[in-house]
Amino acid sequence: MSNRRVLVVERDAVIALDLVESLELAGYEVRCVARSAEALEKAREFRPALAIVDADVAGPLDLLALHEQQRCSLVYLTSRSCWPRQAWLASSLPLFFLKKPFSASEFMTTAAAAIAAHSAEGLALPVKAAHGRSCSPARGAAPAPLTA
C-alpha cells in the first residue's frame, strides 16, 4: 500500500473534481467514486492510505467497513460541526472531520495530517476536526492539533 494513494468518495462532480485535482497537484495518486458501494470495491483494488468521504454519500457503518477492510485513515466531509455519531466513530477509527465549506488549504492540511497519521501507524488516533471544532472520542480526551 502506497502512502500516496487517496480514495475520494464524493457524489458532487464539481467538488470531486476540485478534490482530485488538488490532491494530484500535490503528488498523490487518486481514485474517485460517487457511491459507498463503489468505494469498498475500489478500495480493495487500489488499497489507499487515505479515504476522503462525503457524509452525504457514506454513513458511519460504511466508514467502519472501509476502515476494517483497508486499515486506512479517513477524512469525513460533513456540514455538521459536531454530532452524536462523531464520538462513536472516533472511538473506532483513525478519523479526521472537515466541516463544509472548507478552503483548499484546510483540505490539504487535513489530508496531509491524515496521511501522516497513517504513516505513523498506531491508527488508534483521537478524532480531529478542522476549523477548531472537534468532539473528543472519550470524555476528557483532547483532540490532537491538525499539524502534520
Q: What is the model's pLDDT at position 105?
A: 93
Q: Which amino acid is at 109?
A: T
DSSP string, 124-136: -PPPEEGGG----
CB contact at 8 A, 102 and 131: yes
State the sign of the Cα–Cα–Cα–Cα dihedral 34, 106, 74, 139.
Answer: negative
Q: Which three cell numbers stand for residue 113?
A: 495530517
Q: Which three cell numbers stand for residue 65?
A: 467497513
Q: Is the pLDDT of residue 48 over 50?
A: yes
Q: What is the model's pLDDT at position 131?
A: 41
Which CATH code for domain 5-132?
Answer: 3.40.50.2300
Locate the domains of the chain by residue range.
5-132
Picking from 82, 85, 83, 58, the residue whose alpha carbon sits closest to that of residue 74 is 58
10-39 pLDDT, tens digit per residue, is: 989 999 999 999 999 999 999 999 998 899
